[in-house]
Amino acid sequence: MILNAEQLMMRETVAQFFAERAPISRLRALEHEPIDISYDVELWSDMVALGLTGITVPEVYDGLDFGWLGLGAIAQEAGRCLVASPLLSSVVMGQNVLLNCGSRAQIERYLPAMLSGDSTSTLALDEGRAFDPDSIVVAERAGTMSGRKIRVLDAPMCSLIFSVARRESGELGVALVSADSRGITASGRRLMDLHDSGSVVFEALQTETIEWLEGLDIRGGLQKTLDQATAVLAAEMMGTAREALERTVTFLGEREQFDVKLGTFQALQHRCAQMYCELELADSAVAAALVALDHDAQNTSSLVSSAKALANDCLTLISSESVQLHGGMGVTEEMDMGLFLKRSRVCNQLLGSSSYHRDRYARLNGF
């Protein structure tokens, strides 16, 4: 459950990189960009140059094979700076749905461009108000595919879209389409946290433009992809939570009222201590889930659900408390704490709320 020397070194490099190159001001700059620009392309190409596209990719496919625990550590550092990048959409979801659901030929055909940063991809899954991978309506019928996918991360920026849909046969499939195909409209939607959650509309998309992934176990491959993405998102959330708590504790150690530092008040100390307990508790669950992914453990899904539910609850608590403990400053745009709060609520809905994951955990454990 702890990082090896290589992973530690990678984390240090990445932490320094994000601190220097991706301060929150850079995220804020996106606000002035057109709606279809969901991340800073220059920042992304530097991330590619650091090797971040290949962290979990096996060496046979020219990846670094640093494992999910390694990628989790990188996601944590990204979370500290609220970085907007295709790390989750393309590196985790796009690449892995290809690796988990594609045939060897398909992987060899599409993966190299993703690793080199020449192409990015995303996964179009959700259709309804809440995350629910078990009710997919979009389907291929009589030679065309129509329907709408929402919460498609970085949709207008990517070149390839992997869309979960029902095939003519009724079976679940993953359709690989080029984003510029006729019949596809990918739009951006900037959420309150300034990250993108776009949509993809298929309008009589011709079946000939679709390449279905040809792996042997689509359903299993999809579940694995979602588990991987959920665990990485949970790790990112831990970085966000850790940063928010650190900023808050620092603030309380500096701000004076009643002639003393606010941090000397026991009522506030206890709230911070409580948050710290929740942080390390959730962080342990996240580490366990990442390790389970690395070992392909049998109870991985259960551990992932546990990690996401605890991460949701933890970041919700820490971000709310951090705004409160910053006092009036907490609710101003002058401070970044509001962005942490908003990011928290967006992450809650992404890849499953706490209630979703508690229910899934119960189902996986026989109750």
Partner 1 sequence: MSQDQLALFRTEVSAWLKTHCPASQRQPIVREEQIWGGRRRVFPSADAKQWFEACRDRGYTAPEWPVEYGGAGLTPEQAKILKQEMARLQCRPPLYCQGLWMLGPALLVYGSEAQKREHLSAICRGEIRWAQGYSEPSAGSDLANLKTKAEDCGDHFLVNGTKIWTTKADEADWIFCLVRTSDASPKQAGISFLLIDMASEGVSTSPIQLISGESEFCQTFFDNVQVPKANLVGELNGGWAVAKELLKHERKMMAAFDGMLEKPAMSLLELAHYAVGVDQDGRLGNSELRSDIAQHLMREQAISQLGERIYWQGKAKQSDPRLPLLMKHLGTTETQTKDELILRALGDEGLSMEDECVPEGLRKMVKQWAFNKALTIAGGTSEVQLNIIAKRALSMPTSEVKS
What binding mask, one character per residue, do residues 231-270 give for partner 1 by CB under 8 A, x or -?
------------------x--xx------xx-xxxx--xx
130 binds partner 1, rule: CB under 8 A: no
Cα separations in angstroms, 279 against 81, 246, 284, 319: 17, 11, 9, 11
As a whole number of angstroms, the distance between CA 82 and CA 342 comes to 11
Q: Is 25 in the site for partner 1 (CB under 8 A)?
A: no
Site residues for partner 1, 335-364, by CB under 8 A, read 354-355, 358-359, 361-363
| Count of residues in the chain | 367
Question: Which residue number, 42 or 280, has a Cβ lying nearer to partner 1?
Answer: 280
Among 6, 12, 42, 280, binds partner 1 (CB under 8 A): 280
Closest CB to partner 1 among 141 and 363? 363
Between CA 59 and CA 37 the distance in angstroms is 32
User: What is each CA distance from 316 to 231, 308, 346, 347, in whole angstroms?
Assistant: 17, 12, 10, 10
- Amino acid letter at 64? L
CB of residue 54 to partner 1, shortest distance in Å: 25
> Minimum distance between the CB of residue 286 and partner 1, rounded to whole angstroms?
9
When binding is defined by CB under 8 A, the residue of 81, 287, 325, 347 that contacts partner 1 is: 287
Contacts of 283 (CB under 8 A, 6+ apart): 238, 242
Binding mask 291-320 for partner 1 (x = CB under 8 A): --------------xx--xx----------
Q: Shortest gap between Cβ of 353 and partner 1 (angstroms)? A: 11
In the bound state with partner 1, the residue whose beta carbon lies nearer, of 111 and 286, is 286
Instruction: Enumerate residues 6+ apart whose C-beta is below 8 A from 147.
Output: 127, 137, 138, 139, 165, 201, 202
Pick the closest to residue 114 from 194, 56, 165, 174 (CA basis). 56
